[in-house]
Structure 1
Amino acid sequence: MDAGTAAVLGALAGSIATIGAALATGWAQREGARITARSEHRRERREPRHDIYKEFISEANQLSHQTGLYLSFDVDLMPDDITEDRRQLLSGVSAALDEKALEAALAGPKRVTEAALETARLSHRLVGSALNFQGLTEERHQRMRDSVRKSLLAICRRYERSLEGFVFQAQSALDDDGSRK
């Protein structure tokens, strides 16, 4: 090989190395920018989600406290009837929970949405069962009252588990830094 060919090949090798280094540097910068943008996006989504989840849990706990007396293992401790004030209170808390469930569902992600909607669905069943006591005060309704009490106890337990599941899903969503797929 003569000196001219060696010089051309050397220049070509240097050019290829420079182009490769530039491409690698550009790719690394794009990846760094993408990671930074994704991290910022997650931070911006986390803050409102935290507040939305917190409000949903607060409303769900309010309903849980209002219906907690139905979780008694002793059916004699359960109230025999629901007053109109309690009926309105339960309906109001359920409606507020619906609104917060919608907000939590829209905030996502999917697993949190599913947990929020399940908790809201069970809250309707819970309030509906609690309100079924209304009007079952006569002696002839005793068998039906016993059935409603058993159903109510089962729904209360499912509601409590559902709320716990939502809390765990919300924590997981808030802790997700995007490094897991």
Structure 2
Amino acid sequence: MLREASTAGRSAADNHGTGSGLAAVLGAAAGAVGGVFGSLVTGKVQRDGVLISVRAEHLKERRQPRHEVYKAFIQSLTTLKDRVLAENYENTRAEEEDAFRKEINARWIDVSLLGPIYVNSHAVEVRDLALVVVNRMGAARECASVLLRLNGDEGDDVFEHAERSAGHAVDSVRAHAELLGATIDAFSVTASEALNDDGTKRRLGLRERMRRFRPLIPRQGFQQDT
């Protein structure tokens, strides 16, 4: 009996020791895993903080140059719009039209180099519409030139057709210039958002940005010249 009790006691002690050792190993393993996970989380937080700081500094450096090129671009577009929407529209000269094209393209290049991409996307739309306005100005000038060359010997039908064509051409210029004005306003909002971005917010992916910033120009109201 004593021997059996002694043997049972030793077995219980061995089992207790084994259980305590296993618990200690498992506890150590769990602690190690928790430590590794905590380190990964801490490292990610620190890395994200560094990236936000770097991006914020990058945006700060670009804010003033972007402000200047956005302003110059908008001013060029506004000058074109005001030229057309003056109370008494006067036909342009070919040299004036070329000057508008060069100015608008030059300002657009400045914007495209400084970005960001969603501003560039809208800047392309505004530039294209502005160039359509310039082309329509040229068409109105040519229609007016045809009307002025008539000497009265061509007949009433010819004169009336030329007169209607000249009137429609001017109406088309003004309609596109009014659309340009609304588009300039929309672009200004996009540019302002870019300038107000301090880099502390989560950065949108390219696809998400393109979904967020829809085209400025309703396609049913805009037909690009070819």
Calculate the TM-score normalised by the size of structure 1.
Answer: 0.75
**Aligned pair 1:28/2:45, yes or no?**
yes
Pick aligned residue for 1:97 from 76, 80, 104: 104
Pick aligned residue for 1:133 from 141, 144, 148: 141
Q: Which residue of the partner structure matches residue 71 of structure 2?
A: 54
**Aligned pair 1:5/2:12, yes or no?**
no
Give the distance between the partners of 1:126 and 1:23, measured in 2 at CA.
Answer: 57
Deviation, 1:175, is 2.3
The alignment's C-alpha RMSD in Å is 2.9
Q: Which residue of the partner structure matches residue 78 of structure 1?
A: 89
Q: Which residue of the partner structure matches residue 118 of structure 2?
A: 111
Query: 1:147-158 counterparts in 2 under 5 A?
Result: 147-158=168-179
**Aligned pair 1:164/2:185, yes or no?**
yes
Change (3 A) 1:20 1:179: closer
SS in 1 for 2:85: helix
Give the distance between the partners of 1:14 and 1:147, measured in 2 at CA.
Answer: 81
Deviation, 1:57, is 1.1
- Give 5+ residue unaligned stretches, structure 2: 1-15, 151-158, 205-226
Residues matched between the structures, number: 171
- Which residue identity does 1:154 align to in structure 2? A
Change (3 A) 1:19 1:154: closer
Give the distance between the partners of 2:34 and 2:202, measured in 1 at CA.
Answer: 33
Change (3 A) 1:24 1:166: closer
Deviation, 1:142, is 0.9
Q: Any idea what the Cα deviations from partners look like across 1:40-90, whole Å, max 9, x if unmatched?
A: 233334333222211211221222232232xx4xxxx333x44x4xx4234
- Give 5+ residue unaligned stretches, structure 1: none
Give the distance between the partners of 2:183 and 2:192, measured in 1 at CA.
Answer: 14
Deviation, 1:11, is 5.4
Give the distance between the partners of 2:85 and 2:104, measured in 1 at CA.
Answer: 16
Q: Which residue of the partner structure matches residue 56 of structure 2?
A: 39
Which shows bigger deviation, 38-47 or 143-152?
38-47
Flag the structure with larger Rg: 2
Change (3 A) 1:108 1:6: same
Give the distance between the partners of 1:23 and 1:114, measured in 2 at CA.
Answer: 38
Give the distance between the partners of 2:30 and 2:135, measured in 1 at CA.
Answer: 79
Calculate the TM-score normalised by the size of structure 2.
Answer: 0.62
